[in-house]
Amino acid sequence: MSGNEEFYTALRKLISFRSVLSAAKPEMPFGEGVYSAYRYFMDLAEKWGFETINYDNYMGEIVYGEGEEIGIIGHVDVVPEGNGWHSDPYTLTEKDGFLFGRGLGDDKGPMLAVLYALKALKESGKKCSKKFRLFVGCDEESGWRDVEYFSRKYKFPTYGFSPDGNFPLSYAEKGITIIKFYLPALKGFYGLTGGTVVNAVCGYASVKIKGFNEMNKSQREEEKRRLAENKLTVTEDGVIESVGKSAHGSKPELGVNALKPLFEYFLSKGEDVGNVIDYLFNDKGGLKNLENGQGNVTLSPDLAEEKDGGIILTCDCRIPAPLNTSDVEKIIKTFGLKYTLSIKHPPVMVGKDTELVEKLLKAYNFVTGENAAPIAIGGSTFARVFEKGCAFGAEFPAEDAHLHEPDERISIENLEKLIDIYKTALFLLAE
């Protein structure tokens, strides 16, 4: 830990706050834990001689330099620790060359590394040609209400990066559009329900068979046999269950959608769901062919419910820039299904040849000795608050940092590297 003692002392303290969202209190919109971590971070910045702005404890800003604005955004809130830790989640613990603690990689460690880099820049006395605006988020993990509060009155800079993703650097993030398809009620089934959230592949779905109780034994046996052929099971009271495998909405190909076998069964029983299977599950419309060289459009029917005498299938649709929702809608229109769509986030893309991307990548490659190129991702990071935003770190490609899991960790070697990367990046940008 040579040379960076001040960083580690501050990190130990920052990790010690259990900054998990809790009930709001006066002046503490996200509860006491988040407030304490936030206050500590802002006080530290003031102690290190920075100008700070407090947006009513929803978000903070730390400012340095004069010139073209570069935004940086991360957060000090964390997800709950959960079970299964081998050390106290809120005590920075060293073991076998690793540090452990909730928030080490997401996102307290990286945020502190950025502040520490700003401090080094300031103390170097070098002329700084940029105005760095470091935004300290407090609600990234729970609903982005910090961003919403700030955006009501103020504007983020156009260009910026977030140390809340992965190295080397993602220059593009897919947009998210939520599409709801409205189907008429089924003739032979009722009570269809499936999925938990729209951004996760439906891992479990169920539906009830109409008139199951009136069936005689042999009819029930016949139904069971046909269901088994479709890899479905039925309970004693006529509930068909389908088990798939959940996966993140940005990567539906990693999951198994539990709704698909149900709809295939509906079709085999004469229900009018052919279009649903063809277009929503088998991509007959060719949405996958819409791509930007780094990724393609995905459509995942993740939620099913019965409402107002019909069925609503809610789909998570991810769209890579420079494509947008209207490109997708041209295809959706041909499905012959009633739908509505709402744009959650438009796709984001920073030009690969912008000064920001070039210098950040140069810093990464300089410190690691790699020759990495920028990547595009399907997920969504804090970087999207900037119109031209990129995620830059802090998880290394070959690292298993256990983010959002027990034993969140980073190797000391990588932590030293990331401190160095952010320092190098800010010095390059300041030139």
Q: Applying CB under 5 A, which residues contact Zn ion?
A: 106-107, 164
- How far, in Å, CA of 174 to CA of 1, rounded? 38
Q: Which residues contact 88 (CB under 8 A, 6 or more apart)?
A: none
Judged by CB, which is closer to Zn ion: 141, or 271?
141
Collapsing DSSP states into helix, strand and coil, what is residue 260?
Answer: helix
Min separation Cβ 80 and Zn ion, Å: 14
Judged by CB, which is closer to Zn ion: 107, or 407?
107
Min separation Cβ 140 and Zn ion, Å: 5
Min separation Cβ 367 and Zn ion, Å: 22
Min separation Cβ 190 and Zn ion, Å: 41
**CB-count exposure of residue 97 (10 Å: 0-12, 13-18, 19+):** exposed
Judged by CB, which is closer to Zn ion: 37, or 209?
37
Residue pair 391/94 in contact by the 8 Å Cβ criterion:
no
- How far, in Å, CA of 108 to CA of 102, rounded? 9
**CB-count exposure of residue 46 (10 Å: 0-12, 13-18, 19+):** exposed
Judged by CB, which is closer to Zn ion: 176, or 430?
176
Judged by CB, which is closer to Zn ion: 61, or 107?
107
CA distances from 140 to 119, 200, 312, 343 (A): 24, 18, 29, 19
Min separation Cβ 361 and Zn ion, Å: 21
Q: φ and ψ at 426, to 5 degrees? A: -65, -40
- How far, in Å, CA of 379 to CA of 68, rounded? 28
DSSP symbol at 87: S
Judged by CB, which is closer to Zn ion: 113, or 240?
113
Helix axes 108-124, 32-47, angle to 10 degrees: 10
Min separation Cβ 30 and Zn ion, Å: 14
Judged by CB, which is closer to Zn ion: 227, or 401?
401
Strand 175-184, strand 310-319: pairing: antiparallel
- How far, in Å, CA of 427 to CA of 69, rounded? 15
Judged by CB, which is closer to Zn ion: 81, or 107?
107
- Identity of the residue numbered 390: C
Q: What residues are paired with 342 via a beta bridge?
A: 178
Judged by CB, which is closer to Zn ion: 191, or 379?
379
- Which run of H or E residues covers position 415? helix 412-430
Ordered DSSP codes for 286-346: -GGG-B-SS-B-EEEEEEEEEETTEEEEEEEEEE-TT--HHHHHHHHGGG--EEEEEEEE-
- How far, in Å, CA of 20 to CA of 32, rounded? 9
Judged by CB, which is closer to Zn ion: 105, or 195?
105
CA distances from 339 to 93, 123, 180 (A): 51, 57, 5
Judged by CB, which is closer to Zn ion: 110, or 157?
110
